[in-house]
Amino acid sequence: MPKVIFISPDGTRTETEVAVGLTVLEAAHGNGVPLEGACEGSLACSTCHVVVDPAWYDLLPDAREEEEDMLDLAFGLTRTSRLGCQLVMTEELDGIVLRLPAETRDSRG
């Protein structure tokens, strides 16, 4: 199974195995990683915002317009920001490194 490495704001690394086809958000929730996901993956908030290590970013499919709209509302947005609910694990992403932002903003208002 491919692995995801989550890095928390304090630098703690959590390495988890993830079944192909699950999202990063599902992987986080299944392994006790504090990635919020307030809308439960329905693309209605930005609380599952992750920062993809630049070495992995170009391997990801492009963000759809709906994801980009939600990312615009994310706290601490970077050039390699994505929503965990939109990142589906593949074998190619084995070892991907994702940083959790220090804060989240629930954009559902």
Q: What's the confidence (pLDDT) of residue 36? A: 92
Tell whether 80 is covered by a domain.
yes
Other CB atoms within 10 Å distance of the CB of residue 92? 12
Which domain, by its residues, includes 89?
3-99
Task: Name the DSSP class of 104.
Answer: -
Place of tokens 């999202």: 23
From the list 58, 27, 53, the residue with the least C-alpha distance to 41 is: 27
**85: in domain:** yes
CA 99 to chain centre: 8
Quote the tokens at residue 91: 């074998």
The number of folded domains in the chain is 1
- State if pTM tops 0.75: yes
Give all strands of the β-sheet with 96-99 in edge-to-edge order. 13-17, 3-7, 96-99, 49-52, 81-83
pLDDT digits 0-9 by tens, 38-97: 998 899 999 999 999 999 999 999 999 999 999 998 988 999 999 999 999 999 999 999
